[in-house]
Structure 1
Amino acid sequence: MKILISGASGFLGQRLCRSLSVSNQLAVICHEKTVFNFPCESINLSDDLERDIQKFNPDFSLHLAASYSEDDVQETLGCNTVLPARMLKAISKLDTPNRNFICIGSYWQHGCGTSMQGAIDLYSASKLAFSGLLEYYASRYAINSIELVLYGVYSEDDHRGKLINLILESAKSGRLLELSPGEQMLNLVHVKDVISGVELAIQAVLDSESGGVSRYRLSSGNEYSVKDLISLVESCSGLLPNVQLGAKSYRSVEVFEPVYMYPILPGWRPTVNLESFICNVLEA
């Protein structure tokens, strides 16, 4: 199968592409001279993007790229809203069996369960704006689509500065980690389970013939506060992370309680246990 992907150089994109490249032909949308550690063709992010997508003629398309900048409006809207819209425009001109699309959504698009609803920063607003464009293209051009909403994604080899990895590093090294008071609730899913969810969603889209958008989430059955994670690391290892709660103020925008707008993807469930993950990392 020929698969078109944006965001192949990102944390999720690299890992997903390595899995998909085993039995599929990939083309990735990227800037010039980008090097990947999996076999693929490159489609330059240029004025000819739509033409080049139609030339590749993918059986399936995935939008994983994301920009989080609050200050660079052009970059954030370009990556989160304009790029996937350009992908959909090109897909709409393909033969009907090739009009298949998945994009990644964020729980930040739906705000905080305790105090606000809807997008809460430029990143989530731009993702939410694209949701409306997806509705239009999917219904107007019979594009079989799924928006897959992610919550917290974690992994052993994660260098993005995610909280669980910072707490584990503090426990192992003894270095001081200064945090906010720690009342935010987190729902964490291992990247291996996210990859299996995306691959399952691909098959679900291919099995659909009606066009339109279905929306699902990939979330675990557990929520942990920041305080809970610290206690969990201590109970798994006997090591007390050197964490100072309240040393920093909360950010101007926080999600204290995630909102679960959509059902879990049918047939999917997480297999990696967070406690086992913590024990394995600390024993390594």
Structure 2
Amino acid sequence: MKRRALVTGATGYVGSKLCQRLLIDDWTVDVLTREAGRQLGTTLAGSVTSHTYDGSTESVLAAVTESKPDVVFHLASLFIAEHRRDQVTDLIVSNVLYGTQLIEACVRQNVKYLINTGTSWQHCRSDAYDPVCLYAATKQAFEDILEFYTDSFPLRAITLKLFDTYGPEDTRPKLISLLLNALKTGEHLGLSPGEQKLDLVYVDDVTRSFIVAAEQLLSNVSAEKHESYAVSSHQYISVRNLVALMEDISGKRLNVTFGDRPYRDREVMYPWKAERVLPKWKAEVDVRAGLSRLISLGE
């Protein structure tokens, strides 16, 4: 019998790639998308059943009721590294309210398993909670709410805390995408001093972590009601060395200037060294291999 997934954040990069992976693995996939959000990509259109979130708990409940998922994958979020005061409401609604409505719908419809998406930015300078920014604080706030629900209802959950994700067809304005574009166009790119280190995880490894987490929940191998794991490569590369590596792979010089912009407030200079990594999962694509794929594709 086919397993059924309900996925939020399917219009985002990692969410869309997860949906593709689930379809390849023969899951039936439903997605919950915002009324005013971006449309599903052509790869997913016609392959998934789409439900609309209009901001109400009732719309989420309707989607959960209709889809009857075995596992809910919650990837929807709003990422803002440095927020403005007029963005506070959007951050709370997207990263706290929406997820809480989703959990409420799950427990009302007796959905047993949920996989949540956290961020390594919940741990700025230590293993303890130390949010880099308001975005990271909202992710922690939702995780605390999730803890209440798993303690109070027959719901089990896993939170996967992601680091820097990258891969093909990534249109997000992230560093690797900007560097790849600069390789193709030769345009100048102003960077920070570049000493901060990154934990880069290729998107195929990231989506596989969600599948592994789902199997862990479905197999009932753990007695914990809510587990939290890092999805880390445990390989760290500075921005300066990343630029040098891309130049080495491509045989081209990048037109970049280090120090053109200052570090952000609370810049993460070294990634969180998480000790608890998802069982039966490890990153398989190292940075050189992942970048080589993207450069060969002309990404």
Moved more, 205-214 or 177-186: 205-214
Equivalent of residue 86 in structure 1, options 101, 108, 124: 101
The answer as to whether partners of 1:54 and 1:93 remain within 8 angstroms in 2 is no
Question: How far does the alpha carbon of each residue in 1:45-96 deviate from its partner, in whole angstroms, 9 at most, with x for none?
Answer: 133124312343221111100102423222111111111111111111233x
Shift of 1:260: 2.7
Residue aligning to 1:76: 91
Q: What is the identity, as a one-letter code, of the residue corresponding to 1:231?
A: A
The answer as to whether partners of 2:53 and 2:60 remain within 8 angstroms in 1 is no
The answer as to whether partners of 2:197 and 2:270 remain within 8 angstroms in 1 is yes
Q: What is the identity, as a one-letter code, of the residue corresponding to 1:187?
A: D
Q: How does 1:142-221 map to 2 (within 5 A)?
A: 142-208=154-220, 210=223, 212-221=225-234
The answer as to whether partners of 1:184 and 1:225 remain within 8 angstroms in 2 is yes
SS in 2 for 1:131: helix
- RMSD over equivalenced CA pairs, Å: 2.1
Percent of residue pairs identical: 30
Please give the alpha-carbon distance, in whole angstroms, between the structure 2 residues aligned to 1:203 and 1:235: 39
The answer as to whether partners of 2:167 and 2:294 remain within 8 angstroms in 1 is no
When normalised by structure 2's length, the TM-score is 0.87
SS in 1 for 2:209: helix
Please give the alpha-carbon distance, in whole angstroms, between the structure 1 residues aligned to 2:67 and 2:295: 45
Equivalent of residue 25 in structure 1, options 28, 38, 49: 28
Q: Which stretches in structure 1 are left out of the alignment for 5+ residues?
A: none
1:51 aligns with 2:54: no
Moved more, 222-231 or 252-261: 252-261
Please give the alpha-carbon distance, in whole angstroms, between the structure 2 residues aligned to 1:166 and 1:191: 17
Moved more, 16-25 or 237-246: 16-25
The answer as to whether partners of 1:105 and 1:149 remain within 8 angstroms in 2 is yes
Residue aligning to 1:41: 49
Shift of 1:167: 2.2
Shift of 1:44: 2.0
Q: How does 1:59-138 map to 2 (within 5 A)?
A: 59-69=70-80, 70-71=83-84, 72-95=87-110, 98-113=111-126, 118-138=130-150
Residue aligning to 2:13: 11
Q: Where do 4+ consecutive residues of structure 1 move more than 6 Å?
A: none
SS in 1 for 2:108: coil
Please give the alpha-carbon distance, in whole angstroms, between the structure 1 residues aligned to 2:197 and 2:115: 27
Please give the alpha-carbon distance, in whole angstroms, between the structure 2 residues aligned to 1:166 and 1:32: 30
Shift of 1:3: 1.4
Please give the alpha-carbon distance, in whole angstroms, between the structure 2 residues aligned to 1:230 and 1:32: 39
Moved more, 183-192 or 173-182: 173-182
| Count of matched residue pairs | 281
Please give the alpha-carbon distance, in whole angstroms, between the structure 2 residues aligned to 1:260 and 1:276: 23
Moved more, 85-94 or 36-45: 36-45
Shift of 1:252: 2.4
Residues 235 and 206 from structure 1, CA distance in 2 versus in 1: closer, same or farther, beyond 3 angstroms? same
The answer as to whether partners of 1:143 and 1:211 remain within 8 angstroms in 2 is no
The answer as to whether partners of 1:4 and 1:29 remain within 8 angstroms in 2 is yes
Please give the alpha-carbon distance, in whole angstroms, between the structure 2 residues aligned to 1:140 and 1:282: 49
Shift of 1:32: 3.2
Shift of 1:250: 1.4
When normalised by structure 1's length, the TM-score is 0.91
Please give the alpha-carbon distance, in whole angstroms, between the structure 1 residues aligned to 2:232 and 2:284: 11
Shift of 1:211: 5.6
Please give the alpha-carbon distance, in whole angstroms, between the structure 2 residues aligned to 1:142 and 1:260: 32
Q: What is the identity, as a one-letter code, of the residue corresponding to 2:14?
A: L
Please give the alpha-carbon distance, in whole angstroms, between the structure 2 residues aligned to 1:2 and 1:144: 17
Please give the alpha-carbon distance, in whole angstroms, between the structure 2 residues aligned to 1:50 and 1:279: 41
Residues 178 and 267 from structure 1, CA distance in 2 versus in 1: closer, same or farther, beyond 3 angstroms? same
The answer as to whether partners of 2:61 and 2:102 remain within 8 angstroms in 1 is no
